[in-house]
Amino acid sequence: MLQVLGRAGRFRLGESFELWHVDRTRLADAATLDDTVVFSGSAHHQIYADDDNGQHFVALTTVDDALGQMTVHSLGSGDLARSVSAAIGYFDDTEARDSTEVARLLSAASLHVRALWLPESSSVYVLHAPERRIEGRGGPHSAPDLLHYLQVLATRIPSGRHTR
């Protein structure tokens, strides 16, 4: 476990997730969530402060496999880090989950949706969504439910220049 000593105390590197983007141009014809996603080449890392405040931070990185180097693009704190932590807690407490299954952070930025996605079990934990019509919005859902929600949302939110 990596530990970093900072001004506020000790920090530890927590969970890491590949960051996948929903390609909005693929939504209309998609049969599954897998049909719409593209790996971004980046990873999301949870960073925890070992203090009484229970602070959560996040780092966004890219990895150059050829050089064996990781580049940190951003470091911050906020709702995303706390929401991911809540999703991790939910999946860790769910007995039906395979403990070896790899989770991915899913972003549909142009639709303002973020989710933690377990592709093998087709489970999704919605971290952020603009409308409350996805059965209460945040929390656990199935991948087909999220795909349907994204398809409907794409018809309601005008497409901009960016498709990620």
The pLDDT value recorded for residue 51 is 62
**Does any domain span residue 161?**
no
**Does any domain span residue 20?**
yes
Question: Within a 10 A sphere around the Cβ of 24, how many other Cβ atoms?
Answer: 21
Phi, psi of 112 (to 5 degrees): 60, 40
* Residue-wise pLDDT tens digits, 95-110: 555 668 888 999 988 8
**Does any domain span residue 57?**
yes
**Does any domain span residue 128?**
yes
Answer for the pair 106, 22: CB distance below 8 angstroms, yes or no. Answer: yes
The pLDDT value recorded for residue 162 is 36
Number of domains comprising the chain:
1
Burial (CB count <10 Å: 0-12, 13-18, 19+), residue 116: buried
Residue with tokens 């807690």: 89
Answer for the pair 23, 34: CB distance below 8 angstroms, yes or no. Answer: no
**Does any domain span residue 33?**
yes
Residue 61 and residue 114: Cα distance in Å, rounded? Answer: 17
Residue 125 and residue 87: Cα distance in Å, rounded? Answer: 6
Residue 20 and residue 135: Cα distance in Å, rounded? Answer: 23
**Does any domain span residue 163?**
no
Answer for the pair 114, 17: CB distance below 8 angstroms, yes or no. Answer: no
Domain that holds residue 26: 3-156
User: DSSP assignment of 85-109, as one string?
Assistant: HHHHHHHHH-TTS-TTPPPEEEEEG
How much is the pTM? 0.76
| Amino acid at residue number 141 | H
**Does any domain span residue 162?**
no
Each residue's pLDDT, cut to its tens digit, for the chain (164 residues) gives: 344 444 556 777 888 888 999 998 898 888 999 999 999 888 888 887 766 555 667 776 776 666 667 777 777 777 888 888 888 888 888 755 566 888 899 998 888 888 888 888 888 888 888 765 555 455 667 788 888 888 887 777 665 433 33
